[in-house]
Each structure stands twice: as structure tokens, then as C-alpha cells.
Amino acid sequence: MRLDVLTIFPEYLEPLRHALLGKAIEQDIIQVGVHNLREWTSDVHQAVDDSPYGGGPGMVMKPSVWGPALDDVAAGTGPAASCSDLISSVPHRLLGTSSSDAAAPRLGEESPTTKPLLIVPTPAGVPFTQDMAARWSTEKHVVFACGRYEGIDQRVVDDAANTYRVEEVSIGDYVLIGGEVAVLVMVEAIVRLIPGVLGNAASHQDDSFQNGLLEGPSYTKPRRWRGLDVPAVLLSGNHGKVERWRRDQSLLKTAARRPDLLEAAQEAGLLTKRDQQVLDAGTPLEE
């Protein structure tokens, strides 16, 4: 998968080359380009913003800068052509052992029939979910446009639909200063679902949201810590009982914290009769 990020603060995207994302870069599972939007300015001050039509506080990002920048990132032309991809911060020495996506396009090599995906972070966007992360984890080329100030002139988003499949996305009901942190959030959620990125391919299958519920609590050694014991069932060696206990904990936690998720799971027919008994009892069932 190829990821390109347009921003006026390229250094904000530094975390993309660390830890598991850095390892994915080293393994050539992802290629990441971070582009400084100011390279597409033509004035001496490299201005990317201007005052809003209709008045009001703050500044709006200029279409005359964003338009050419998005055109170049899609086509691999102009300043986008000379951008070096991020290099992994940690030498994992794994190159050549697991390249799951050798067909990922280089910049500008998009298939003419498939438009790249453009994600525009905005608090006014559609809420980002695990389902979207899963869907986008199979994309070949994803471009992120980081807004600042009061956001990007709406015509940029409208016009980009000629070149991209465009999604305006929010990471939550609060307002950040800029889109960079939202991009870090989305990239982590998307990239960890690409085969080969997590050490254990099964490790995201029981995660929260994968089956419509929150995950229950986890424990590790020691068995007793500060007077608190690990639940006995987890030491029983009885896999069936452990699985039922985990399911019960997951159901009860979801009921307490996210009744909206539980309702959706019920409507989707994801709950068994036993699940419903646990929920009605409000406690794990005695075996």
C-alpha cells in the first residue's frame, strides 16, 4: 500500500516511521510519502491560507495551493516527484522476508481505472470506524489532506472528486488544531490490519469492534499482584470455559459502556440465546 500525506507540518508525521509502522516500511508492506504543502505556493511568504469569504474569524486554506498539490500527488509530478519516502527509524533487518504488497503503485503509477482514495480529515466528516479501517486496508494508494486553521476551501474537496474517490472523515466529536494527528490515528488503524504487519495474524481478530462488541479485560503474570488475583477461570486450562468467560466479559462491558454497540449487535443477529441470558442476568452465568 502507498500512503501520501499533504501537510504544512511534515515533522508531525514523524511517528509514521516508528515501531510497527516503521517495520512495515522496512518490509516494503507500505511506502509513505510526506509532502510539504508549502512547496506548491508561489509567493514569497509561502502563504497557504486567506481570509474567509462572508467574513468571520480565522483563515481558510487556499484552493490555488491545494488543487495543484493534490493533482501532483495523484500523478507523481511536480514537487511530489522529488519527495523521498519515509525511512524506517529502526533497523529491523527484515527486508525481503515479507513483502505482502509488491503490486503497490509507485507515486503516479495508479491504474487509470482505479482512482486513489483521498481522505480529508474534518470534524464535520463521517465518523471513522473499524469497518472503514478494514475496508481501506486493502487499498493500493491512499492520500491524506491535512487541514489547518478553519479548514480547506470546500471547492478543493469537490474538485478532487475528478481525480480521487474522496471521503471526508472525523475521528471523533471534538475539534483538533490540525488534521495530522487524525491521520496518525487512521493510518495506525488501517495499517495494522494489512496482512504481515502484526506478528500474529490472529491478534486483531478478538479486538474490540471486530465482532461488534468491546473486548473484555486481559491479564498476565504474576497471578497475584498488589492483592489482586487473576480470575481463576483463566488458570483452569479449560479452553471452552475461558472462551465463554471472555464472551461474557465482552458482553457485560459493552452493555455498560457502549449500549449503542450492543443494540447494533442485537439488531444484526450477532448475539446467541446464551448471550442474551448473560445480559439479562447482568453477570456471567454459573456453569
Using rule CB under 6 A, residue 123 touches ligand SAM: yes
> In angstroms, how far apart are the furthest CA atoms of the chain?
74
Binding mask 175-194 for ligand SAM (x = CB under 6 A): xxxxx--x------------
Nearer to ligand SAM, 79 or 178 (CB): 178
Contact 41, 64 (CB under 8 A): no
- Quick one: which H or E segment has residue 49? strand 49-50
Nearest position to ligand SAM, beta carbon: 147
Active site residue 150: yes
Smallest gap from residue 119 Cβ to ligand SAM (A): 10
User: From the CB of residue 141, how many other CB atoms can be counted at a distance below 10 Å?
Assistant: 25
Active site residue 207: yes
282 assigned ligand-binding residue? no
| Residue in 131, 162, 172, 263 binding ligand SAM, rule: CB under 6 A | 172
What 8-state DSSP symbol labels residue 95? T
User: From the CB of residue 184, how many other CB atoms can be counted at a distance below 10 Å?
Assistant: 19
Work out whether the CA dihedral 199, 201, 202, 203 comes out positive or negative. Answer: positive
- Quick one: which H or E segment has residue 280? helix 273-281
User: Of 15, 52, 63, 123, which residue is the catalytic one?
Assistant: 123
User: From the CB of residue 162, how many other CB atoms can be counted at a distance below 10 Å?
Assistant: 11
Q: Which stretch binds ligand SAM (CB under 6 A): 31-39, 115-123, 204-212, 263-271?
A: 115-123
Using rule CB under 6 A, residue 5 touches ligand SAM: no
Contact 35, 6 (CB under 8 A): yes
171 assigned ligand-binding residue? yes
Nearer to ligand SAM, 44 or 174 (CB): 174
| Residue in 10, 68, 116, 151 binding ligand SAM, rule: CB under 6 A | 151
The string over 191-200, giving b where at least 16 C-beta atoms fall within 10 Å of a residue's C-beta and e elsewhere, is bbbbebbeee
Using rule CB under 6 A, residue 62 touches ligand SAM: no
Contact 186, 179 (CB under 8 A): no
Nearer to ligand SAM, 120 or 262 (CB): 120
Using rule CB under 6 A, residue 150 touches ligand SAM: yes
At 240, phi and psi to the nearest 5? -60, -45
Active site residue 226: no
Please report, as ranges, the residues that interact with ligand SAM according to CB under 6 A: 121-124, 146-148, 150-151, 170-172, 174-179, 182
What residues are annotated to the active site? 123, 150, 192, 207
Binding-site residues, in ranges, read: 147, 171-176
Binding-site residues for S-adenosyl-L-methionine, in ranges, read: 147, 171-176
